[in-house]
Amino acid sequence: MTHLRFAGAVALAAGITLSTGAFAQKKYDTGATDAEIKVGQTIPLSGPASAYGAIGKVQAAYIKMINEQGGVNGRKINLIQYDDAYNPPKTVEQVRKLVESDEVLTTFQLIGTPSNAAVQKYLNDKKIPQLLAATGATRFTDPKNFPWTIAYNPNYQSEGHIYAQYILANHPNAKIAILYQNDDLGRDYVKGLKDALGAKASMVISEAPYELSDPTVDAQMVKLKSSGADLFYNMTTPKFGAQAIKKAAELGWKPVHILDINATPVSQTLVPAGLDNAKDIISVNYGKDPLDPQWDNDAGMKTYKAFMAKYAPAEDANSGIATYGYSTTQYLIQILKQCGDDLTRANIMKQATNIKTDFVADLALPGMKSTGEKDDYRINKQFQMMKFDGKRWVLFGPILTDTFKAQ
């Protein structure tokens, strides 16, 4: 078990200071005092998803920086992290410890769909915020049934809605074939696409699911090509995404190719698939890529890179994992900042769904804003389309907002 604590405090950093007059009366739930805010997290520092452990390391480094600058509204953040090895039973054990022994005010960025699913009911029963959960499954943006859960990631149905907008605008007569992972991730992508296609959902002429235990998706790809489809909706994760891209090339199948954001990492998906095979694939993004030269002189990117060099030099600053850890912690700090002296769990959820319009994360794409609302917990539902040019992803088109309400 890994137990990391980061604490320390001085005075408020510029840009974090809030007028004390705005908060006439202090209100605290367990885990908050005049001096400290306890925040709890499980991360996979070991196990099959240990690469994601770097998210937590960057987050801890960011909080260390904030504490050195004075904390949030004069309070240091005590981040308590446990290694759950991406094992749901372990997550349950660790989260219970965070709540019942460590007495945290809130959880933050529990990582992974299975891990979050394992503790969602427990945290909601206890009325502990499951804040900025690191997952895009739709069940984590469901305020009616889980009012104490709010995810950070754009949910997969929202992403599917955006692809439907793109298809209807640019390929209105397409014949669509779908490859999808047979779990919450894949099914959400399929539902999102079909819901937003509406009366034109019959454009989908073939579907092929796969299991995580399948060795390849070769058979599925043969089936999809034989359908006569001219648009391929590839809703996978890196391993299977790479297989699908490679197999399409081997079969000589060259449809319009849409790939979900989870499978867009160049090194994990497109390099194994063959960069030439991946050319012209379309996807979406909602953050700046450190490898994209258009951000070389961007103020937010410069701030991010300076932070990484000083506080997280052992981590890969060009990795989407690092940028994700950085951006999510900026959201945490903004939410706590907005709470002022009302550090109750109810107010944390209120502020999380009312991010102030003047808040812009350093790595957000220009024009993007947080969009959480009281009855719509999707913090991120804006995207920009991008196309792979054989070397890197290139953004194109306007910012697209998912206006289709979550089901």
Identify whether residues 298 and 350 lie together within a single domain. Answer: yes
Write down the pTM of the prediction: 0.81
Identify whether residues 249 and 221 lie together within a single domain. Answer: yes
Q: Is residue 406 part of a domain?
A: no
Instruction: Give the CATH number, domain containing residue 44.
Output: 3.40.50.2300
**Residue 293, SS3?**
helix
Q: Count the domains in the chain.
A: 2
Identify whether residues 140 and 164 lie together within a single domain. Answer: no
Q: Provide the b/e sequence for 348-360 (b: ≥16 CB within 10 Å).
A: bbebbbebeeebe
Q: Domain range for residue 139?
A: 3-154+293-370
Identify whether residues 117 and 264 lie together within a single domain. Answer: no
Identify whether residues 273 and 396 lie together within a single domain. Answer: yes
Identify whether residues 344 and 317 lie together within a single domain. Answer: yes
- Give the CA-trace dihedral at 190, 192, 195, 201, to 10 degrees: -40
Cross-sheet strand order for the sheet of 204-210 = 204-210, 176-181, 231-235, 256-259, 282-285, 382-388, 393-401
Identify whether residues 141 and 182 lie together within a single domain. Answer: no
Identify whether residues 14 and 145 lie together within a single domain. Answer: yes
Q: Is residue 376 part of a domain?
A: no
Identify whether residues 190 and 315 lie together within a single domain. Answer: no
CA angle 83, 88, 93 (to 5 degrees): 65
User: Per residue of the chain (407 residues), what is the pLDDT tens digit?
Assistant: 333 433 333 333 333 344 443 445 899 999 999 999 999 999 999 887 787 899 999 999 999 999 999 999 999 999 999 999 989 999 999 999 999 999 999 999 999 888 999 999 999 999 999 999 998 888 999 999 999 999 999 889 999 999 999 999 999 999 999 999 998 889 999 999 999 999 999 999 999 999 988 999 999 999 999 999 999 999 998 889 999 999 999 999 999 999 999 888 887 789 899 999 999 999 999 999 888 899 999 999 999 999 999 999 999 898 888 999 999 999 999 999 999 999 999 999 999 999 988 899 999 998 887 766 777 888 888 899 999 999 889 999 999 988 876 44
DSSP-assigned letters across all residues of 249-286: HHTT---EEEE-GGG--IIIIIHHH-HHHHTT-EEEES
Identify whether residues 214 and 76 lie together within a single domain. Answer: no
Identify whether residues 11 and 87 lie together within a single domain. Answer: yes
Q: What is the pLDDT of residue 405?
A: 60
pLDDT, tens digit (0-9, with 9 covering 90-100), for 54-80: 999 999 999 999 999 999 999 999 999
Q: Provide the b/e sequence for 83-97 (b: ≥16 CB within 10 Å).
A: bbbbbbebbbbbbeb
**Cα distance between residue 100 and residue 83, in whole Å:** 17
Q: Is residue 340 part of a domain?
A: yes
Q: What is the pLDDT of residue 110?
A: 97
Query: What are the structure tokens assigned to 244, written together?
Result: 């699908």
Identify whether residues 82 and 9 lie together within a single domain. Answer: yes
